[in-house]
């Protein structure tokens, strides 16, 4: 996979909006000039009251039929526990056949709140989750390129499995990483790298260095690995509105200690209520488009070329319109 020019994307937050509303927002994003739509994959949302969790596979099929140009993918889906990797390989092969060169698969090692309740089992340690992820990638790629795949892995097995409808072009696999071990795995096996904004330049340099080291270990060129970052932005002509719009995402402001491995949306909602006044700290909050461009530019300088913007407020149409009119042209320039 070769490096890409700048792509500006929209994060379709499945935790926040009902399926039909989310679909219309994705259509609007394409109409306003966004290049990519990335949908989250949640079995349970961050809040019980007023939360949502449409199935990303069903939703992607629907939105792909309503759009013509934007690239579509997950950010991120976990193909290891709640989903078996052969099933994900099958689903994404069909999506890519229907919509050639528009589909990518974003994956990660998962969150307990999305996996454990659905499978009724405990949450594996990071090492097992990482091993599962690497094994899932190997199996999915074999299913996309071979016939009668008999796979004997540590966690997954297939016997003479064939996906009969395969896309002509390989489906890019982007892998999320929040630490150096996960980033090194991306360097070894990923087509793309995904991370989220607001965590400090030092961490991103550490992650990108680990990615490059992983690529070297696998005799790969790290420059061939796409770099995507979800950028949390609350931009509005009204500065007070922009700050207040962050409150639905107060859970993002909770520290690891505050969350304490909580899996229950009701409990996370309760904890987040106490953090609502600092929800804005996880976002670029501004009424000045030049300030937004300057702060987003930091990620471009680090080497990220695919920016997916996460707008926090409930009025997404307003956020999309203002961002597309004021910020996107400046970013492209």
* Whether residue 42 lies in the annotated active site: yes
Q: Which of 237, 247, 244, 229 is nearest to 319 (CA)?
A: 237
At residue 265, what are phi and psi to the nearest 5 degrees? -55, -30
Distance CA 186, CA 203 (A): 16
Say which of 24, 48, 52, 111 is annotated catalytic.
111
Say which of 15, 30, 42, 230 is annotated catalytic.
42
DSSP SS3 for 310: strand
Q: Which of 64, 28, 35 is nearest to 322 (CA)?
A: 28
Distance CA 135, CA 188 (A): 12
DSSP SS3 for 107: strand
* Cα dist from 308 to 37, 197, 232, 277, whole Å: 8, 10, 8, 25
* Whether residue 111 lies in the annotated active site: yes
Residues known to be catalytic: 42, 111
């Amino acid at each position: 996979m070769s490096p890409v020019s700048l792509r500006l994307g929209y994060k379709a937050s499945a935790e926040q909006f009902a399926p039909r509303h989310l679909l219309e927002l994705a259509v609007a994003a394409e109409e306003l000039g966004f290049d990519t739509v990335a949908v989250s994959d949640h079995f349970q949302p961050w809040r019980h009251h007023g939360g949502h969790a449409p199935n990303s596979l069903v939703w992607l099929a629907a939105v792909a039929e309503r759009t013509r140009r934007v690239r579509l993918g997950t950010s991120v889906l976990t193909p290891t526990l709640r989903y078996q990797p052969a099933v994900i390989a099958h689903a994404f092969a069909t999506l890519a056949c229907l919509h050639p060169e528009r589909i990518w698969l974003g994956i990660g090692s998962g969150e307990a709140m999305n996996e454990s309740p659905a499978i009724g089992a405990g949450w594996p340690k990071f090492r097992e989750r990482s091993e599962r992820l690497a094994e899932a990638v190997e199996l999915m790629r074999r299913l996309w390129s071979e016939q009668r795949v008999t796979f004997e892995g540590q966690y997954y097995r297939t016997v003479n499995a064939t996906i009969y409808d395969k896309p002509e072009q390989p489906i890019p696999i982007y892998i999320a990483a929040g630490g150096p071990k996960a980033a090194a795995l991306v360097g070894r096996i990923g087509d793309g790298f995904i991370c989220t904004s607001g965590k400090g330049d030092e961490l991103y340099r550490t992650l990108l260095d680990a990615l490059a080291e992983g690529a070297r270990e696998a005799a790969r060129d790290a420059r061939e690995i796409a770099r995507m970052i979800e950028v949390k932005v609350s931009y509005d002509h009204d500065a007070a509105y922009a700050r207040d719009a962050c409150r639905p995402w107060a859970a993002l402001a909770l520290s690891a200690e505050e969350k304490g491995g909580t899996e229950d949306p009701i409990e996370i909602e309760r904890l987040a209520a106490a953090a609502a006044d600092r929800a804005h700290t996880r976002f670029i909050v501004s009424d000045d488009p030049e300030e937004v461009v300057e702060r987003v530019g930091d990620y471009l300088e680090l080497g990220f070329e695919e920016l997916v913007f996460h707008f926090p407020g409930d009025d997404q149409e307003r956020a999309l319109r203002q961002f597309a009119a004021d910020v996107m042209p400046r970013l492209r320039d």
